[in-house]
Amino acid sequence: MPRFRDSNLKSQPSVVRKERIKDPKNPKRSVDPAALAMLDKAKEQGIITAFDRFAAQQPRCAFGYEGICCRICFQGPCRIKAEEGPGSKGICGASAYTIVARNIVRMMAGGASAHSDHGRHIAHALLHAAEGKTADYGVKDGDKLKRVAEKVGINTEGKSLNELAKEVSLAALEDFGRQTDDPCRWLYSYITNDRKRKFEDCNIVPTSIDRSVVAMLHQTHIGVDADPVNIIFGGLKTSLADYTGMHISTDLSDILFGTPKPTVSEANLGVLKEDKVNVVVHGHNPLLSQTVVDVAREMESEAKSAGAAGIQISGICCTGNEVLMRSGVPLATNFASQELAIMTGAVDVMVVDVQCIMPSIRNVAECFKTKIVTTMDNSKIPGSHHFAFDENHAVESAKGIIRLAIETFKTRKGCACDIPQVKSKVVAGFSLEAILELFAAINSERPIKVLTDAIDSGELAGVALLCGCNNLEAVHDHAHITIAKELAKANVLMVGTGCSAQALAKAGLLDPVSVEEYAGDGLKSFLQRVAEANKDKLTDGLPLMLHMGSCVDNSRAHDLHTLMAEEMGIDVPKVPFVASAPEAMSEKAVSIGAGFVALGVPTHVGTIPPIEGSKLTYGIATQIASDVYGGYFIFETNPEVAAAKLAAALEYRTWKLGIHRNAAAKYETKLCENF
């Protein structure tokens, strides 16, 4: 990690392990007023939630927490129990560094699988739509289809949209199963040439998604790789396969459902309506949620004949982000508080697809009228309803789900609900295309220059991506909100995704009025200037953070980073761009984070992943990563200190770039390539 002006700022957390979890036995650990109200209700009614189960799990096993428990073969679990002697290694002789490295890269393989399988599902839907095999989906955004085709090197001339969609989806599917040694096409179409060289030099170019995951599981089988650097580099290859899968998901979802544009909506449990049929979509895949949203619009009259005032759809987790971005559907809540939405008693159906769905939602639903509907072959919860969802039965299944919700509403009608009257206005929908269009109102030739000029002039301190999950280990939403407020004060332009963006949405930080309260002078003038130039499109102004979408849409943020690098004439690790996952928890977060680091981004994580058990592996994540890729991890559990570290990382890059630019001007040379 580079040295910062304040030498107290390091990549290690400032908080010792014992003090990291505030008040671990107290189940009321949230700063969201709606969640707190529901936690009180849960206590009164004796309903157990994730907040209680977190307290029950304390204290956690130190071996697992530090990553030095190995369960890769069943001679174990082996734990590293001593500094030396037989207890200092696993039965097979694996050292702490091998065990920690193997564990963490297997998490990357899990994350890459989840994102990519989602992308594959969408690629199949696009292919079948293009071949006329399903009537339920079709190309909605032909312009995006052409842009993507051109970007990945497919000739568009003289081809119909369906011909092109078929070619693009087949090319995407090839990235999953290519057997030659050519690189993943989506990865190589979007990164800089300098990054390609770097990845080739380090031998971490994935040739296909499936192959890189299989290779990773092989490499970490008992008795294969013991070298932590080689294992972690294998993990980085998998994380670049993850990036490939995420980009495919974003691109093909935009083609099928439209590229997001700024939209006004609301967030938090107050969006649920007692007198309406409430359908909550939860999970990740827009194939399901977008169809439910579209079908619900056509079924309003059925709901009204059942005595409801209409149908209210709202979202949780990333599928919620997908439909917010494209259709302005309000957000109910984010990951940690998913059970609490059911606690309102107002949810008729919670329909789930894949990932981040707590199985406990079914237990909470039992205490109310709520029905849980699962939809995917690979994601079922015992005791819930299942509507098999595939491309050929999408509309039919969505209709069945809405009808079940209407029937449930009939039995719920008249029962008391407890909907906390808490909600905030939200302006979201900032795809990269939407952001560039806003900038184009100021500089139509080179829109991205509006941003890089603002950094060069010192108006903005840089760009930060806020992303990632909730983790019950943290006080729900607190770190997301605190870091956002601190970075806003420091004039950092923020973009966001995932449950992080949802935390800010609920807290009112995606309401443009928050700019006046929290933004520093530079950020304020930048946002106001861009909003002013786009008065016709942005009737409500710009919010403090630009919501770019779900977690797969971190690919949009990477593209912004790459565009900045190209405009500034430098490679990505020199751009003042940082990322933060203040409350990360999932395997997907591990693979996204590792990908960010390989793409040259200083990446803060506010909840410590299980790697502290090996100083060597920890050093690879923080120090060696920085030396090789220019990106590195910053671990910090205190959000104020984390914001200071992120601001310092930006300052360091701007300072260094300034020095090299001055030197280049003074000596009339080109900008040095290797700083």
Interacting residues with ligand SF4 (CB under 6 A):
70-73, 75-76, 78, 90-92, 94, 99, 222
Q: Is 23 exposed, middle or buried (0-12, 13-18, 19+ CB in 10 A)?
A: exposed
- 222 or 417: CB nearest ligand SF4: 222
| Shortest reach from residue 394's CB to ligand NFS, in Å | 21
Judged by beta carbon distances under 5 to 8 A according to partner kind, the member of ligand SF4, ligand NFS, none in contact with residue 551 is: ligand NFS
**Residue at shortest CB range from ligand SF4:** 90
Residue number closest to ligand NFS, CB atom = 469
Min dist. Cβ of residue 68 to ligand SF4 (A): 10
CB of 86 to ligand SF4, least distance (A): 12
Least CB distance from residue 95 to ligand SF4, whole Å? 9
- Please answer whether residues 511 and 484 qualify as being in contact, where contact means their C-beta atoms are separated by less than 8 angstroms: no
Cβ(234)–Cβ(215) under 8 Å? yes
Report d(CA 284, CA 318) in Å as an integer: 5
Report what 586 binds from ligand NFS, ligand SF4, none; CB cut-off 5-8 Å by kind: ligand NFS
Q: Up-side HSE of residue 464: CA atoms within 13 Å toward CB? A: 38
Residue closer to ligand NFS by CB (options 354, 647) is 354
* Min CB(69)–ligand SF4 separation in Å: 9
655 phi, psi to nearest 5 deg: -60, -45
Q: Which does 222 bind (CB under 5 to 8 A by kind): ligand NFS, ligand SF4, none?
A: ligand SF4
User: Which among ligand NFS, ligand SF4, none contacts residue 474 (Cβ within 5 to 8 A by kind)?
Assistant: none
- Least Å distance between CB 81 and ligand NFS? 33
User: Is the CB of 153 or the CB of 223 nearer to ligand SF4?
Assistant: 223
120 vs 653, beta carbon nearer ligand NFS: 120
Query: 454, 452, 485: which is closest to 575 by C-alpha?
Result: 452
Residue 658: strand, helix, or coil: helix
Parallel, antiparallel or unpaired: strands 602-605 and 632-635: parallel
Secondary structure of 418-480 as H, E, C letters: CCCCCCEEEEECCCHHHHHHHHHCCCCCCCCHHHHHHHHCCCCCEEEEECCCCCCCCCECHHH
Q: Residue 469's binding partner, choosing from ligand NFS, ligand SF4, none, with beta-carbon cut-off 5 to 8 A by kind? A: ligand NFS
Binding site for ligand NFS (CB under 6 A): 284, 317-318, 335, 356, 468-469, 498-499, 550-551, 586, 588-589
Q: Which is nearer to ligand NFS, 50 or 450 (CB)?
A: 50
CB of 348 to ligand NFS, least distance (A): 22
Q: How far is residue 646 CA from its own chain's centroid?
A: 18
Residue 91: name its binding partner from ligand SF4, ligand NFS, none (Cβ under 5 to 8 Å by kind): ligand SF4
Residue 559 or 571 having the CB closest to ligand NFS: 559
Output 470 or 654, the one with its CB closest to ligand NFS: 470
**CB 53 → ligand NFS: shortest distance, Å?**
16
Nearer to ligand NFS, 165 or 317 (CB): 317
Amino acid letter, residue 484: A
Q: Is 528 exposed, middle or buried (0-12, 13-18, 19+ CB in 10 A)?
A: middle
**CB 321 → ligand NFS: shortest distance, Å?**
7
If the CB atoms of residues 98 and 268 are measured against ligand SF4, the closer one turns out to be 98
Partner from ligand SF4, ligand NFS, none binding residue 90, C-beta < 5-8 Å depending on class: ligand SF4
SS3 492: strand
DSSP per residue, 555-599: HHHHHHHHHHHHHHTS-GGGSSEEEEETT--SHHHHHHHHHHHHT
Helical segments of 131-227, H only: 142-151, 161-177, 185-190, 193-201, 209-219
Rg (CA), the chain: 24
Report the partner that residue 468 touches, choosing among ligand SF4, ligand NFS, none (CB closer than 5 to 8 A by kind). ligand NFS
Distances (CA, A) of 333 to 12, 403, 599: 31, 24, 31
User: Which one of ligand NFS, ligand SF4, none is in contact with 335 (Cβ closer than 5 to 8 A by kind)?
Assistant: ligand NFS
Output the smallest distance, CB 139 to ligand SF4, in A: 48
Residue 169 binds which of ligand SF4, ligand NFS, none (CB < 5-8 A, kind-dependent): none
Identify which of residues 73 and 161 has a Cβ nearer to ligand SF4 in the complex: 73
520 DSSP β-pair partners: none
Phi-psi map region of 383: left, alpha, beta (phi>0 left; psi -120 to 50 alpha): left
Residues 333 and 356: beta-carbon distance below 8 Å: no
Shortest reach from residue 320's CB to ligand NFS, in Å: 8
Q: Which does 557 bind (CB under 5 to 8 A by kind): ligand NFS, ligand SF4, none?
A: none
The Cα 175–Cα 171 span in angstroms is 7
**Which tokens is 255 given?**
């083609």
Nearer Cβ to ligand NFS (257/439): 257
